[in-house]
Chains A and B, each alone.
Chain A
Amino acid sequence: MIPNGNGKKTIVIPCSGIGKVQGLIAREAAYAAAAAGGGELLCLALLVSGDEEAVSRIRDAECITIDGCPKLCAVKNVEATGGTVAKSIQVIDVLKNHRGAELGTATKLADAGWAVAHEIAQDINHCESEVK
């Protein structure tokens, strides 16, 4: 559990969209951020299905969402279940600084895809350390 400056824990929630490489980047970025102490992970589907434990976890937490595309499934679903989105990251916005990069596929990231995932993870960890 990583308490931030106002005592709330941070939960990282990727969209994990299965159809595009951005969904995989969001997922791997969340893993990397959590592994480096940037927050806890939470299954988006578990939250939306109304799992009591998942819902209670976000109640007093600050959520960092990572969405693969502008459909913003993670943001929408977190807010719909009563969570507070402290920071919304869109992989698409990060990709605008990686023009021409070979990102990989929906199941396997290429080197550039991993680089984007790590960049997002670093952004999350930096954000987390700022609010401590």
Chain B
Amino acid sequence: MKRAVMPCNGLDKAYGVLARELALRLMETEGMHLICPVLLNNSPVRYDKDLADASLLVVDGCPTRCASKLAQKLGIAVAGKMLVSEQAKTAGVDVGESLRPGPVGMQLVDAMQAELAAQAQAGVDGQPAVDFDPPTRFLTVTYDKFVFKIPAEGYLFNENDCWVRVVGNRARVGVSDFAQQSMTDITYFEPTRIGAVVEQFDEVGSLESGKSMMDVLSPVSGRVTAVNTELVDSPELINEDPYGRGWIAEMELRDFESDKALLLDAASYSRTIEGKAAQAQH
């Protein structure tokens, strides 16, 4: 598959400089097509050929995420994302403030390239499956002025307000309507790593709102095959459509028959949130 990389244009921050360095490295050593964000913004047609049927990696330097926002604005599908500041934080690395890449910064570039390679070797390209149809029928629980929707069939829930929908040996997970209403407007989503192997109730992502934080605890065990990268720039999708576009991760199941024993169907989950709603402060 054709691959392309677009770094942000961060000229005034060390992270932006390293984003560019990583993109250059990937172009030189792995043959990725390099996309200039400024040219793309001014003349999108210039990159029609490079982006057609390509798997695009976006590399942002800082949480402003200019490159990701540009891709979203232009409606360009993004297969993967890398945020240099997050990578530095995770690695415990201080790249300094110099706008010339130094040894520490280049080591971080090495590490980021290695992580991308590891993801590719896992045989997972992070593409979500397309056969998880959104629910059409709901049960509702009403408390005061709040109405909480629960898909009537096809979804199972854990006590931590996370849902799972299973198709064959694959599953999609997310948080319930009750969870997103309790959090109010979600401002951050941090995905888990593609390829991660998780046990039931392990974390597969985290959410943050002005009111609270929430770890998304997987209702099932398995290997993460895709994460919803759209949520990184648009976490509000979880509020708008928690059972559809707000999905969190997809997984290859390991032992769903055992996991099922600890999950709740729609009716049971409805009863659970009736009790929770009475206690929650809205």
Contact = CB atoms under 8 A, between A and B. Distances in A.
- Same complex for A and B? Answer yes
Interface of A: 19-22, 69-70, 92, 95-97, 99-100, 103
Nearest to B64: A97
B185 A22 contact: yes
Contacts of A21: 210-211
9 contacts: A20-B210, A20-B211, A21-B210, A21-B211, A22-B210, A70-B185, A95-B187, A96-B63, A97-B63
Contacts of A20: 184-185, 210-211
Contacts of B188: 96, 99
Interface residues of B, number: 13
Contacts of A95: 187, 210
A72 B211 CA distance: 19
Contacts of B239: 70
A69 B63 contact: no
Nearest to A102: B210
A99 B240 CA distance: 21
B252 interface: no
B63 A92 contact: no
Contacts of A100: 208
Contacts of A92: 185, 187, 236
Given A70-B236, A70-B239, A96 B211 contact: no
Nearest first, the 7 A-B pairs at minimum CB distance are: A95-B187, A69-B185, A92-B185, A103-B210, A70-B236, A21-B210, A96-B187
Contacts of A70: 185, 236, 239-240
Nearest to B62: A97
Interface string B144-171: 0000000000000000000000000000
A22 B282 CA distance: 14
Contacts of B185: 20, 22, 69-70, 92
Contacts of B236: 70, 92
A97 to B, nearest CB: 7
A25 to B, nearest CB: 9
B245 to A, nearest CB: 14
A99 B210 contact: no
B96 to A, nearest CB: 22
Given A70-B236, A70-B239, A92-B236, A99 B184 contact: no
B230 to A, nearest CB: 15
